[in-house]
Structure 1
Amino acid sequence: MRLNYFVFVVMISFCGMNAQDKTAALKLVGEGVAFHDKGEYENAIKKYDEALTVDVDNLTALSEKAYSLSSLHQYEEAIALCKIALKKHPKEKGLQFIYVTYGNALDHLKKTDQAFAMYDKGIKKFPDYYQLPFNKGIAYSGLRKYDEAITCFQQAIAINPYHLGSLNGIARLEMIQGNKIPSILGFCSYFIQDPQSSRAAENLKNLIDVLDGNVKKTGDKAISISLDSKMFDKAVKKGKPEANDFSTTELTLTLAVALDYDEKYQNDTDVVKFIRKFERMCASLNESKIDNHGFYWETWVPYFLELHKNNFSETLGYLVFATTETEDVTNWFNTHEVQINQFYDWSKNYEWPKK
Structure 2
Amino acid sequence: MLILLCASLTSTAQAQAPDEVKTLIKQGVALYDEGKYDEAVLRYKQALKLAPDNFTAQYELAMTYGSLGRNEEVVELCKQLLKSEQADASVYVTYGSALDDLKRPQEAVRIYQAGIKKYPASGLLYFNLGVTQAGMQRYQDATESMQMAVRQNPKHASAHRILALLTAQSNRVPAIFASVRFLQLEPRGQRAVGGLEVLDKLMGQNVRKTGENAVTLNMSPDMLKQMNGKKNMPDNFGMTDMLLTMTSALDYDEKNKDKSTTVRLAEKLTLLCENLEEKKPETHPGFAWNYYVPYFITLKKAGYLPTLAYLIQAARPGQPEAQQWLEQHPSEVKELQEWSEAYKWPQ
Give, in whole Å, the separation in 2 of the partners of 1:23 and 1:261.
69
Which amino acid is the alignment partner of residue 42 of structure 2?
K
Q: Distance in 1 between matches of 2:139 and 2:325?
A: 38
Q: Tell me the equivalent position of 1:257.
A: 248
The structure-2 alpha-carbon separation of the partners of 1:26 and 1:120, relative to structure 1 and needing over 3 Å to count, comes to farther
Q: One-letter code of the match for 1:97?
A: S
Cα displacement (A) at 1:281: 0.7
**Of 157, 171, 182, which residue of structure 2 is paired with 1:179?**
171
Residue in structure 1 matching 2:34, options 21, 32, 38 = 38
* Match of residue 291 from structure 2: 299
Give the aligned residue type for 2:93: V
Whether 1:131 and 2:140 are equivalent positions in the alignment is no
- Give the aligned partner of residue 345 of structure 1: 338
**CA distances 1:153-187 after superposition (whole Å, capped 9, x unpaired):** 11111111111221111011112x33211111011
Question: Within 2, Cα distance between the matches of 1:110 and 1:327?
Answer: 44
Distance change >3 Å, CA 168–CA 38, structure 1 → 2: farther
Shift of 1:236: 4.4
Distance 1:36 1:259, change over 3 A: same
Question: Please, which of 177, 185, 204 is the counterpart of residue 196 of structure 2?
Answer: 204
What amino acid does structure 1 have at the position aligned with 2:265? F
Check whether the contact 1:78–1:102 (CA below 8 A) recurs between aligned residues. Answer: yes
Q: Say which of 49, 56, 62 aligns to 1:66.
A: 62
Residue ranges of structure 1 left out of the alignment (5+ in a row): 1-5
What's the CA shift string for 1:115-135, capped at 9, x where partnerless? 111111111111112111111
Query: C-alpha offsets along residues 17-61 of structure 1, whole Å, 9 cap, x if unaligned?
Result: 56x544543443333233333333212212221222333222122
Residue type matched to 1:216 in 2?
R
Secondary structure of residue in 2 paired with 1:35: helix
Between 1:49-58 and 1:96-105, the stretch displaced more is 49-58
The answer as to whether partners of 1:248 and 1:284 remain within 8 angstroms in 2 is no
The partner residue of 2:75 within 79, 98, 104 is 79
Deviation of 1:199 after TM superposition, in Å, equals: 0.4
Per-residue deviation, 1:268 = 0.4
Per-residue displacement from partner, 1:274-332 (whole Å, max 9, x unpaired)? 11111111111112224411111111111111110111101110111101262321221
Q: Judge conservation of contact 1:57–1:85 (CA < 8 Å) in 2.
A: no
Structure 1 Cα separation of the partners of residues 19 and 287 of structure 2 = 45
List alignment gaps of at least 5 residues for structure 2.
none
Secondary structure, aligned partner of 2:255 = coil
Kept in 1, the 8 Å contact 2:170–2:222? The answer is no
Query: What's the counterpart of residue 258 of structure 2?
Result: 267
Partner of 1:194: 186
Partner of 1:122: 115
In the alignment, structure 1 residue 140 sits paired with structure 2 residue 140: no
Counterparts of 2:88 and 2:18, CA distance in 1: 17
Q: Is the 8 A contact 1:63 1:97 kept in 2?
A: no
d(CA) in 2 for partners of 1:201 and 1:245? 29
Contact 2:235 2:287 in 1 (8 A): yes
Closer, same or farther: CA 123–336 of 1 in aligned 2, 3 Å: same
**Is residue 276 from structure 1 mapped to residue 240 from structure 2 by the alignment?**
no
Which whole-Å deviations, capped at 9, do the CAs of 1:194-214 have from their partners, x for residues lacking one?
100110111101110111021
Contact 1:136 1:152 in 2 (8 A): yes
Change (3 A) 1:21 1:277: farther
Q: Identify which of 155, 168, 171 aligns with 1:162.
A: 155
Aligned length: 337
For 2:288 and 2:18, the matched residues in 1 are separated by: 45
Residue 220, structure 1, aligned to residue 216, structure 2:
no
- Work out the CA distance in 2 between the residues paired with 1:129 and 1:50: 32
Letter of the 1:184 partner, please give it: I
Partner residue of 1:57? 53
Amino acid in structure 2 at the alignment position of 1:314:
P
Residues 76-135 of structure 1: per-residue CA shift (max 9 Å, x gap): 111111112122x1x22x432111111112222232222111111111111112111111
- Counting aligned pairs with the same residue, the percent is 34
- Could you state the TM-score of these two structures normalised by the residue count of structure 1? 0.89
Residue equivalent to 1:285: 276
Q: Indicate how the Cα distance of structure 1 residues 123 and 182 shifts in structure 2: closer, same or farther if over 3 A, else same.
A: same
CA RMSD of aligned residues (A): 2.1
CA distance in structure 2 between the partners assigned to 1:23 and 1:344 by the alignment: 42
Instruction: Tell me, in whole angstroms, the C-alpha distance in 1 between the residues paired with 2:290 and 2:58.
Output: 40
| Separation in structure 1 between the aligned mates of residue 285 and residue 208 of structure 2, nearest angstrom | 31
Change (3 A) 1:350 1:194: same
Cα distance change on mapping 1:110 and 1:328 into 2, 3 Å: closer
1:102 aligns with 2:95: yes
